[in-house]
Amino acid sequence: MSRLKVFLDTNVLASYFLGKPEAQKLFDRDITKRVQYIISPLVLQELLLISDELGKKESAEEINKLLSKYLTIEQLDEDSVKGSVERIRHLRNKIVHANDLLNIQIAATTADYFLTQDKDLLSLKEVGSAEVISPEQFFNLVKEAA
């Protein structure tokens, strides 16, 4: 069985670092063996800023642990940028922040699911081949597949 590819938005990982129980479940062994988590370089940058804001020295160590065990950083490639012009035109100046466009493009070209808590992003329903879902929807999906 192939692993689900799931792009994690910064707000989902922020919940993890804030110790929210539902976000802690993301890295349970039963889930991580069935999922490949993907982030963008922008999400990594935001995570590093969040760890500073939280003032937790161990957050940087936890980020390194997650990177080495569970998170794959995907870059934008030239072909996906060329293919995204229409999507960006459609979303530009609408409901998403300019930073979200990078995450949307990477998720659209690399993931099965885009996991976010952002209501505006959730309203998109899908980006490319990735379905945009909340953590709750994700856990229901994983539970059903078990």
pLDDT tens per residue, range 77-100: 666 655 555 555 555 555 666 678
From CA 10, how far away is CA 117, in angstroms rounded? 9
Amino acid at 59: S
The pLDDT, as a whole number, for residue 72 is: 87
Q: Name the strand (E) or helix (H) holding 88.
A: helix 85-91
Residue 73 corresponds to which tokens in the numbers above? Answer: 């950083």
Residue 35 corresponds to which tokens in the numbers above? Answer: 């999922």
Is the CB of residue 10 less than 8 Å from the CB of residue 46? Answer: yes
114 DSSP β-pair partners:
7, 132
Along the 146 residues of the chain, how does pLDDT read in single tens digits?
588 999 999 999 988 888 888 888 999 998 999 999 999 998 998 888 877 666 565 677 888 888 889 888 888 766 665 555 555 555 555 566 667 878 888 898 899 999 999 998 898 899 888 999 999 999 998 887 76
DSSP E strands, the chain = 4-8, 35-39, 71-73, 113-115, 126-127, 130-133
Amino acid at 17: F
The pLDDT, as a whole number, for residue 98 is: 65
Confidence (pTM) = 0.84
The CATH class, in words, for 4-145 is alpha beta
Sign of the C-alpha dihedral computed for residues 64, 68, 71 and 72 taken in this order: positive
Is the CB of residue 85 less than 8 Å from the CB of residue 79? Answer: no
First to last CA, the chain: 12
